[in-house]
Amino acid sequence: MRTYELLAIVQPNLEEEPLNAVVDSICEVMTENGGEIVHAEVLGKRRLAYEIKRQTEGFYVLVHANLEPPAITELERMLRLSEDVLRHLLLRLDEFLTPPVEEEPVESEEAEETTEDVVSEEIASEEIVEEASETTEEPAEAPAEDDEEADFVVEAEEDDNDSDL
């Protein structure tokens, strides 16, 4: 069996006796189908965030139970057909209650070395980036010298052409 949590919102105009009857019918469906009730509680009347079936308030009912799959289908069918239940939500809590699997602890000396390695790698990469930015600035000056040489070559060719005439 798995642990489930049911939160149901019940009509706000019910008196205490009909409200308890709805809670009892929910618990009865669970136990008839092989489930165990762990905890059942009426949380009280609260204002809804938005209207549900033209109601702005509702009684909140919280039930924790251990259920089998056939009990779940029958419970949800009963909740959908009940006119007193405005909304319901059934959650499987096994996923939330299992402790997370812990990984093997890393020795502190190894952890310090790895952080030092990471820091040195970051510094080295920053130096490479700085060198690359410096080298990109130098070629911008070089073409200016080439332009002067190109002008000199063009003038020399013009002089050669004049001598042929």
Could you report the per-residue pLDDT of 49-99, keeping only the tens digit for each? 999 999 999 999 999 999 988 889 999 999 999 999 999 999 998 766 655
Contact status, residue 79 vs residue 8, Cβ threshold 8 Å? yes
* pLDDT the model gives residue 8: 95
User: Which residue is listed with tokens 């909304």?
Assistant: 87
What percent of the chain shows pLDDT beyond 70?
Answer: 57
* pLDDT the model gives residue 1: 83
Which neighbouring-strand residues pair with 59?
Answer: 10, 45
pLDDT-derived band at 101 (thresholds 50, 70, 90) equals low
> Which pTM does this prediction carry?
0.57
Q: Which residue has the higher pLDDT, 27 or 153?
A: 27
Contact status, residue 29 vs residue 81, Cβ threshold 8 Å? no
